[in-house]
Amino acid sequence: MNLDDARQKILEAVDSNFDAQLATTMDFVAIPSTRGAEGPCQDMIGDLLRRRGYEVDDWHIDPNDLKDLRGFGPIEHDFSKARTVVGTYRPTREAGRSLILQGHCDVVPAGPLAMWESPPFSPVVRHGRMCGRGACDMKSGTIAALYALDAIKHAGLKPTARIHFQSVIEEESTGLGALSTLQRGYRADACFIPEPTSGKMVRSQVGVIWFRLKVRGHPVHVFEAGSGSNAITAAYHLIHALQKLEVEWNDRARSDRHFKTLVHPINFNPGIIKGGDWASSVPAWCDVDCRIAILPGWSSPTVKMKFSPAFRRPRAITTFYPTTRPRCSGPVFCRKAMS
Ligand SMILES: [Zn+2]
């Protein structure tokens, strides 16, 4: 079979299985696999792989096995049910180059339900698009990769090298699922991650640092607020300082060979804010969970050092600044940038 014929047969196989692919995607999206609740997704992938004859490796992730590896991020939630599932295809005689196909099944929280047009875990197809939490990021990609392998088989072709189909968790946070596959020994000549990023092939990706600002103020009754120190107001100034750091880092990104054409590759996000105990008390505390991106080659210790000047600035500009210096603390981790 020449290349054009093979291509045509694969495309026909994709088309003839597309309804089944769509149904499987819907079942997968319907599983509310937020952080810590990915088990049923991993069960489903394990079943899909076994039914297709892959050799399935399904294991519990023990953070102790990973804690000394580069790229490890600390875990604060119950990890007793955390698993990785890998299905392996082995040709009878190995030739050519091996491949890893990797998808993550964890999804971020759905947010306010009232803002959804349809329930987040009851996927529907509207105007040619599937709507549901995780449909785009990235359950449709994972199932598409599985059905792409099916299409190759149905076209009467057989890959001539090893393929590892991997379903991981923790992609939206520490990346420990992907790290666990490396610790387990999985390697290949290439890895393809079918995340739908504007429909483009992406060869370089930002890393992520999560950190928590812990601001402590001086609590007094509101009638003498001027003698206290308001932790929430101080946190506001720290956020502002970090936004300025974000501008500086985006300027720096203009000299990066992969990111120089992008308008705003470094994004800082204060994602969760908690603080204070009473509307009439000057708040003694404020914690802000934040995320900022880094580019390949930026090491996390260097980046953390760069936070310090940002934290010093508010002292000069506000009398509300707390008596104790804010701390930047855990969970702090860095998901490595790649290129
Ligand atoms: Zn994703």
- Do 104 and 141 form a contact (C-beta atoms < 8 A)? no
Average pLDDT, the chain: 88
- pLDDT the model gives residue 98: 98
- Do 292 and 209 form a contact (C-beta atoms < 8 A)? yes
How far apart are the two ends of the chain, measured CA to CA in Å?
35
Residues 163, 251: one domain? Answer: no
Alpha-carbon gap, residue 322 to 230, rounded angstroms: 7
- Alpha-carbon dihedral angle through residues 323, 277, 223, 319, given to the nearest 10 degrees: 30
Alpha-carbon distances, residue 118 vs 58, 105, 124 (angstroms): 33, 21, 8
Q: Residue 90 falls within a domain, yes or no?
A: yes
Of 192, 226, 241, which residue is a domain's last?
Answer: 192
- pLDDT the model gives residue 215: 85
Of 134, 161, 192, which residue is a domain's last?
Answer: 192
Q: How far is the CA of 316 from the centre of ligand 1 (A)?
A: 40
Query: Active site residue: 38, 106, 170, 246, which one?
Result: 106
- pLDDT the model gives residue 229: 84
E-only strand ranges, 133-260: 163-168, 190-192, 207-216
Q: Residue 300 falls within a domain, yes or no?
A: yes
- Do 295 and 256 form a contact (C-beta atoms < 8 A)? yes
Q: How far is the CA of 10 from the centre of ligand 1 (A)?
A: 26
Residues 160, 309: one domain? Answer: no
CATH code, 305: 3.30.70.360
Which chain residues have CB less than 5 Å from ligand 1, an ion? 137-138, 195
- Give percent of the chain above pLDDT 90: 66
Q: How far is the CA of 166 from the centre of ligand 1 (A)?
A: 14
Output the pTM of the full model: 0.88
Q: Residue 260 falls within a domain, yes or no?
A: yes
Residues 186, 219: one domain? Answer: no
> Above 60 in pLDDT, residue 212?
yes
Q: Residue 199 falls within a domain, yes or no?
A: no
E-only strand ranges, the chain: 55-60, 83-89, 99-104, 124-126, 129-131, 163-168, 190-192, 207-216, 268-275, 285-294, 327-335
Q: How far is the CA of 95 from the centre of ligand 1 (A)?
A: 31
For residues 306 and 84, the model is more confident at 84
Q: Residue 242 falls within a domain, yes or no?
A: yes
Q: With 0-12 CB in 10 A as exposed, 13-18 as middle and 19+ as buried, what is 304?
A: middle
> Above 60 in pLDDT, residue 223?
yes
Number of independent structural domains in the chain: 2
> Above 50 in pLDDT, residue 318?
no
- What does the block give as tokens for 35? 């952080």
State mean pLDDT over 153-160.
95
Residues 97, 10: one domain? Answer: yes
Residues 235, 280: one domain? Answer: yes
Q: Residue 200 falls within a domain, yes or no?
A: no
Confidence of residue 314 (pLDDT cuts 50, 70, 90): very low
Q: With 0-12 CB in 10 A as exposed, 13-18 as middle and 19+ as buried, what is 302?
A: exposed
Residues 215, 281: one domain? Answer: yes
Q: Please say whether the dihedral angle defined by the alpha carbons of residues 44, 45, 48 and 51, taken in this order, is positive or negative.
A: negative
Q: How far is the CA of 298 from the centre of ligand 1 (A)?
A: 22
> Above 60 in pLDDT, residue 327?
no
Angle (CA) 85-102-150 rounded to 5° is 85
Confidence of residue 329 (pLDDT cuts 50, 70, 90): low
Largest CA-CA distance found in the chain, in angstroms, rounded: 85
Q: How far is the CA of 171 from the centre of ligand 1 (A)?
A: 7
Residues 188, 214: one domain? Answer: no
Give the structural domain span for 33: 3-192
Residues 153, 220: one domain? Answer: no
CATH code, 179: 3.40.630.10
Pairing of strands 99-104, 190-192: parallel
Of 192, 227, 249, which residue is a domain's last?
Answer: 192
> Above 70 in pLDDT, residue 300?
no
Query: Active site residue: 171, 195, 224, 248, which one?
Result: 171
Query: Which residue do the tokens 């509207």 mark?
Result: 126
- What does the block give as tokens for 42? 């991993």
Q: Which of 97, 78, 102 is nearest to 179 (CA)?
A: 102
pLDDT digits (tens, 9 = 90+) for 34-68: 999 999 999 999 999 999 999 999 999 999 999 99
Residues 150, 8: one domain? Answer: yes
Q: How far is the CA of 195 from the centre of ligand 1 (A)?
A: 6
Residues 130, 223: one domain? Answer: no
Residues 159, 263: one domain? Answer: no
Helix axes 231-253, 300-317, angle to 10 degrees: 130
Q: Would residue 106 show up in a list of annotated catalytic residues for this protein?
A: yes
Q: Residue 75 falls within a domain, yes or no?
A: yes
Residues 186, 253: one domain? Answer: no
Q: How far is the CA of 208 from the centre of ligand 1 (A)?
A: 13
